[in-house]
Amino acid sequence: MSPSSLADSHQVAISPFNDQKPGTSGLRKSTKQFQTPHYLESFIEAILRVLPGVAGGTLILGGDGRYGNRSAIQVILRMAAAHGVARVITTTDGILSTPAASHLIRTTPGVVGGIILSASHNPGGPDGDFGVKLNGPNGGPAAESLTDAVYGATLSLDSYRTVAAPALDLSKPASHRLAGLAVEVVDGVSDYVSLMQRLFDFDRIADLLRSDFPIVFDALHAVTGPYATQIFEDLLGCPVGTVRNGVALEDFGGGHPDPNLTYARDLADLLLEGDAYRFGAACDGDGDRNMILGQRCFVNPSDSLAILTANAQLVPGYRDGLAGVARSMPTSAAADVVAARLNIDCFETPTGWKFFGNLLDAGRITLCGEESFGTGSNHVREKDGLWAVLFWLSILASKRCSVAELVSAHWASYGRHYYSRHDYEAIDSGKADALFDRLRGGLDRMAGQRFGTATIRLADEFSYCDPIDASVTSRQGLRILLEDGSRVIFRLSGTGTKGATLRLYLERYEPSGGNIDLDPQRALADMIQAADALADIHGTTGMDRPTVIT
């Protein structure tokens, strides 16, 4: 992604940007869209105009290494200099995971925010996607008021400010000057690894890994490769090769850097069908998502949050107990059951890490998670994939059991939430909107109707009043709550760049723990059929099956 005809002057005339409002995940578009003349510059200009404290402040800048990452950093550095930013801290080759960026923002004096270049779990490369995300000074995703202001600024842009300067060498740690801007290139891995060493007992984990407990980690040729290599192979003593696909590539090796059973199939096959490893994990493009696997055992993310909550006292960084836990609304209620037994608060929030950020900043929660393979804690203000992997290994090192044994024991104690998410991707936006509007219009007539083998108790559209700032967030998903405690949720997702993604969430609770060997798709079969009939998913989309099932 080369800068588009940057003039030597400090101001370049452009046409109004006038793009769609960025979401909590920032602005995600195709790489080709970001290559459009002045497109990237326009969005960065809007950020630099409205972010408080830019003039004379410090920015953190880095990304997941995808195609366009390095050249975009050079563009942003020149624009930061033109806007009077005093200092930008970036990383070697611009590689910086999202959780590591959050940590760097939180621990560096004078930081007014961070710009993270990533489209998260979306594919990369010239034909893939690119993204720009703004984080606030607390290290978390920018508040909605700030993203609204950025969007408002884009609507009236007619120019952007920059300086003419040669590209800086980002290949090694160093200090540079660019006009009046101080640019520091730092090692993006070491500070984060040191944080992990403070939270977890690496000696105890290493002892587990020496005791006939082989593990494998798949970095999917994304940002966590250098972090995982240093942690697992250099510090914990795992054999070279434990980290697969550990070199970060601009196109993620042609793969899809999304850690689920569809896109991380090679890893899943190693654990679910082979006997070489007892534990496996993967992270996504920017390092904030995780998938946990054991021998013949997949851990769904909702259960993962509940198990971490139930066993947090075994981990040094959390041995003093938890203030509370939070989950996104579509995430199963497994964590709620644990929180009730521990007598701690459990919050149900809309999807989006910024809602957890408010609770974390206020000290109301310690752990939080989403069903979309994201878990985190108060150590940063983003979800954190490698942190979750180390948390799991810490518990296993303490209990000296397999992943399957730990999960089975949890279900026996707390009950099992049979749970699944069905994603229908790249649907025509008009058809997706029509399906959703039809469902929304019939919510008030659903109570009392049969749904599979149960009866609908309540159907509504989820809204949330933030207990910290009293802000109200509405239209967060359509919920169908059944009298037996089961739930069905429909949401339209904005994380893709092609069409719309319909997400269907299904959950059934079995207090006794249920059948350990029963596949969730079989346990939920009647609900799946009833949901398709209610929403006419097949008839509307023409899709015979979901794109991804988790």
Q: Please give the positions annotated as active site.
A: 120
- C-alpha 231/C-alpha 251 separation (Å) is 24
Contact 233, 239 (CB under 8 A): yes
Exposed/middle/buried for residue 426 (C-beta within 10 Å: 0-12, 13-18, 19+): middle
311: Cα within 13 Å, side-chain hemisphere: 24
Contact 524, 420 (CB under 8 A): yes
Tokens of 284: 């996504």
The number of residues making up the chain comes to: 550
Closest CA to 53 of 28, 29, 87, 20: 87
- C-alpha 228/C-alpha 196 separation (Å) is 11
- Alpha carbon separation from 413 to 148, 302, 337, 501, 512 (Å, rounded): 45, 16, 10, 36, 8
Contact 102, 64 (CB under 8 A): no
- C-alpha 328/C-alpha 383 separation (Å) is 12
- C-alpha 275/C-alpha 296 separation (Å) is 9
CA angle 190, 195, 198 (to 5 degrees): 130
